[in-house]
Amino acid sequence: MKLSLLGIPWDENSSHRRGSAAAPEAIRVALKAPSSNLSCENGLEFDELDLRDCGDLPADLSGEVMVKRIEEAVGAELDQQRRVISLGGDHAVTYPILRAFARRYPDLSILHLDAHSDLYDNFEGNRLSHASPFARIMEEGLVKRLVQVGIRTMTRHLREQVERFGVEVFEMKDWRDDQYLDFDSPVYLSVDLDGIDPAFAPGVAHPEPGGLSTRQALSLIQQSNGTIVGADIVEYNPSLDPTGITGMVAAKLVKEIASRMVTTDM
């Protein structure tokens, strides 16, 4: 199975603190950190995978131009039968990525790890906000199912959006380690690093205590069934990560997602 890594240095839709545009480069640096290695937990070696690093999209694009550019870049990889791991950027990247995926995978499910459900119709007037990608995705009917895990910031509006779109939400307060997620269609995995507890991954703009441990997140990725055909890791903010530990979490996720992707075929 062929994989592609795509950096998307785009954070103009962040509502609080920008800085996640620097994440793709920081995650690549963390992947090569001499303190760790490239062995994946399932025994595969990351640097032996058939993985192409596409580099980063241009950092100076914005708005609808960037939306289109992301959709095209991801679509070009999918057209070569590759599975794409995107490095955000803030969570706004997921909407254009899913537009590309939906065209090739008509019955896609999303597994979404996050402290936030990111279902705002708009946030402070911005419909491309990083708080809104899943509202756009569900409005356009881009996926069959949206399953959210780790959520711990639900507002009344967001609960209404969950009802409206039929989103399956596992709030963090209800999460159990033996919870089994069952997928009967291809899975797109979207990981917001703030889904993980800020004790483990502090380098995010919206730290929300009470989240998943790094191990719980890894187990979820390793153990849920379903073929993972694409993924993103978003909202890593290197400027808020002086020790670099959040970058190491992001790099670990890249390795574990990639090695999981190549072990399941459709």
Residues found near Mn ion in the complex (CB under 5 A): 114-116, 192, 194
Residue 150 C-beta: closest distance to Mn ion, Å: 9
Nearer to Mn ion, 83 or 116 (CB): 116
Residue 15 C-beta: closest distance to Mn ion, Å: 11
Contacts 24+ apart (CB under 8 A), 141-144: 142/98, 142/99, 142/101, 142/102, 142/108, 143/98, 143/102, 143/108, 143/109, 143/110, 143/188, 144/107, 144/108, 144/109, 144/185
Residue 48 C-beta: closest distance to Mn ion, Å: 33
Q: Collapsing DSSP states into helix, strand and coil, what is residue 6? A: strand
Nearer to Mn ion, 82 or 91 (CB): 91
Nearer to Mn ion, 119 or 251 (CB): 119
Residue 229 C-beta: closest distance to Mn ion, Å: 22
Nearer to Mn ion, 82 or 116 (CB): 116
Least Cα distance to 206 among 193, 190, 217 occurs for: 193
Do the beta carbons of residue 91 and residue 20 sit within 8 Å?
no
